[in-house]
Amino acid sequence: MKRILSIVVAFVATITVGAQNIAVVSPSNSTKIYQTLDEAITKAESGSIIYLPGGGFQVTDNAKIDKQLTIMGVSHRGDTDNADGATIISGNLNFIAGSSHSAVMGVYVSGNVVLTDSIANFTMRYCNVNSVQVKSSKSGGMIINQCYIRNRSLFGNCNVTLENNVIHSAHEINAGKIVHNVIVDKSWYHYTNTHYYLGNIKSSTITHNFILSTGFDGSDCYRDNNCIGTGSWGDNPVVLPANTKWDDVFKAHKGVTIASDYHLTDTWAKSKDPDLTGIGIYGGSGFSDEALAPIPRIVSKKVAEMTNDFGQLEVTVTVKGN
């Protein structure tokens, strides 16, 4: 709670300077303000939280994350009540050796989230990213929850939990969990020269997923036999024929975008037996449609056009927490 209050003070103190200022709260609860995300990443102490308000931030591939950091934005969506809109990072987020226990929350990333070397216990939640690329099978304990992943992700044969996400496709998971997701497309897998929704999944739990298949074809899902699950798609999947009209199933199906609404239509859900309310992204721990990270956000701000009689510039800010 103390860190949250610190960031509110930092937001209010810097709002007259510019909305793009970045507050970094150290493990000792001291706050520093930086002008660029590269600088914040480079100068932050290990264990710090980088708070990003709504707006756009550029990160270069030179800004390697080699320490434990939490990068937290307001939301990847532009339709929340945050006065400055979505938190958008242009570029790739590169995590290298030393960055175990890091996290990314509440941001839109134009590029990829890349984990190089051996990285443990990485968490990504409430994010919208192009893809996740894991380079080392020694990484593990990764959690990806309530995210949009727009293109194929390769997890380097490491342990990862994919839960309550809308994802394009996923390959190379070992001893992981793939539960309560909507998987919307299949992509080419280089080892087999075939296209799969789920490719090279080993010793993993696969259950309660919606697979938007182009047809019930075993070649759409490639995994070895010691995965937990009774069929090619795991336990309790929903895989419908190629001629399915997905807008009859979901309230709005527009791919891996926030324009989609993957709530089941009442007509389709009621036509099925047994009840399907536990299937897909709204089952299990559930999916947040707002995708708001646990960070206070500015819902309104007003800066006076001129100073008062005492030479002071009046600023009115309304801050709202989750």
Q: What is the pLDDT of residues 157-202, one digit of tens each?
A: 999 999 999 999 999 999 999 999 999 888 877 777 777 788 888 8
Residue 51 β-bridge partners: 23, 72
CA separation, residue 247 to residues 84, 140, 205, 278, 280 (Å) = 32, 37, 28, 19, 15
| Mean of the per-residue pLDDT values of the chain | 82
CA separation, residue 101 to residues 63, 120, 161, 163, 286 (Å) = 18, 6, 15, 18, 23
CA separation, residue 211 to residues 167, 216, 289 (Å) = 10, 10, 20
What integer is the mean pLDDT of 101-110? 97
Does the pLDDT value for residue 235 go beyond 80? Answer: no
Confidence tier at 47 by pLDDT (50, 70, 90): very high
Please state, in angstroms and rounded to a whole number, the distance separating the CA atoms of residues 320 and 160.
33
Q: What is the CA radius of gyration of the chain?
A: 21
Report which of residues 115 and 316 the model is more confident about: 115
Confidence tier at 312 by pLDDT (50, 70, 90): low
Smallest Cα–Cα separation from 297: which of 70, 35, 86, 53? 53
Does the pLDDT value for residue 134 go beyond 90? Answer: yes
The gap from C-alpha 24 to its chain's centroid, in whole angstroms, comes to: 21
Q: What is the pLDDT, as a whole number, of residue 243? A: 74
Report which of residues 12 and 186 the model is more confident about: 186
Report which of residues 70 and 21 the model is more confident about: 70
- Other CB atoms within 10 A of residue 300 CB: 11
